[in-house]
Amino acid sequence: MNQVIEENEQEAWWFIVSQGKLVALDKGELIPFGSINDLPFPEGATVNKRLLGEYNGASCYLVELDDFLDVGLGDYVTLRSLLGRVPDLLFDMSGRALQIALFYKTHQFCGQCGQKMQEIDWEIAMKCYHCQHRAYPRVSPCIIVAIRKHKQILLALHKRHQQSNYPVYTTLAGFTEAGESLEACIEREVFEEVGIKVKNIQYVSSQPWPFPHSLMMGFTADYASGEVCADTHELVEANWYDADNLPIMPKHGTIARKLIEKTLKRCR
């Protein structure tokens, strides 16, 4: 028993990142797992590992490499390509790895005085010892809301989805502004995008959305007043849909789909 634990302690998940992509295997859980000695890093490569957290009882490490250095394990892939192909928590950890790698890359110099920043070793932060300014990885709060009117749900086709192979009709979403509560953000975004007022705003759950560093905070709400009029800067169209006559929906595993399913249950 002890031996198994010892062996497990040495094995870890490896998030090998270069220029915004990460190494994925073409089998199993896709993220490389094993002891560092099993990883065929080329001789001379500087392997600087940073602890990200734990998954399934094993440590998760970030390794940043230059120029898509071939580690002989698999190709460098985009995070988006892992969506729905790895377990949710492993996907979130992959997002964390890429966000932290991006954070270190973009915080080499102090935003206040321009001096070189130094890594702090007890938390994930960069500090300027010249002016004491400290920076942390950016997380951008973003609301996402499914709206119900009696037995119908409001779904919109976003301009960014129009040209894709999978033109989904989905919920409304938007970034929280400085000084704004989540509730005020929902009221503002919904009014700006479709011209209606909502009520009964209820929090459901959240999902890190690392493209590049959003935190989606999911809500449901009910229609209160107004006529739907889609803002053509962001939307192609927005309409009320019956539960038995729906357009193309977001994929399972996304918070948008979860909010839609929850709202459809209330519609029926």
Q: Which is nearer to Zn ion, 85 or 105 (CB)?
A: 105
DSSP state of 78: -
Q: Decide: is 120 part of the binding site for Zn ion (CB under 5 A).
A: no
Binding residue for Zn ion, selected from 120, 131, 229, 246, defined by CB under 5 A: 131
Q: Is 196 helix (H, G, I), strand (E, B) or coil?
A: coil
159-184 as b/e: b if 16+ CB within 10 A: eebeeeeeebbbbbbbebeeebebee
**CA-CA distances (angstroms) from residue 138 to 100, 124, 205?**
9, 11, 20
**Interacting span for Zn ion (CB under 5 A) from 80-88, 102-110, 193-201, 246-254:** 102-110
- Which span (103-111, 177-185, 218-226, 252-260) binds Zn ion, by CB under 5 A? 103-111
Quote the CA–CA distance of 264 and 268 in Å, as a whole number.
6
The answer to whether 209 is annotated as binding is yes
Told to check if 127 binds Zn ion by CB under 5 A, we report no
Q: Which stretch binds Zn ion (CB under 5 A): 59-67, 133-141, 144-152, 180-188?
A: 133-141
Of residues 45 and 131, the one with the C-beta less far from Zn ion: 131
* First-to-last C-alpha distance (Å) of the chain: 52
Question: Is 210 among the annotated ligand-binding positions?
Answer: yes
- Please, what is the minimum distance in Å from the beta carbon of residue 114 to Zn ion? 7
Least Å distance, CB 106 to Zn ion, is 15
Q: Which two tokens stand for residue 117?
A: 């920043």
Query: Is residue 52 within 8 Å of residue 60, measured between CB atoms?
Result: yes
Binding segment for Zn ion (CB under 5 A), chosen from 43-51, 127-135, 142-150, 161-169, is: 127-135
How many other CB atoms are there within 10 angstroms of residue 265's CB atom? Answer: 9
Q: Which amino acid, residue 219?
A: F
CB of 111 to Zn ion, least distance (A): 8
- Nearest approach, Cβ of 104 to Zn ion (angstroms)? 16
Residue 155's beta-bridge partner residues? Answer: 239
Peptide bond into 42 cis (omega under 30): no
Nearer to Zn ion, 131 or 248 (CB): 131
- CA 11 and chain centroid, separation: 26
Q: Which of 46, 48, 81, 112 binds Zn ion (CB under 5 A)?
A: 112
Span interacting with Zn ion, options 67-75, 109-117, 175-183, 217-225, rule CB under 5 A: 109-117
Interatomic CA distance for residues 173 and 246, integer angstroms: 19
Q: Least separation, in Å, of the C-beta of 206 and Zn ion?
A: 33
CB of 136 to Zn ion, least distance (A): 15
Strands 12-18 and 58-64: parallel
- 45, 113, 120, 248: which one binds Zn ion (CB under 5 A): 113
Residues of this chain that bind Zn ion (CB under 5 A): 110, 112-113, 115, 128, 130-131, 133
List binding-site positions: 80, 110, 113, 123, 128, 131, 136, 173, 189, 193, 207-214, 234, 256
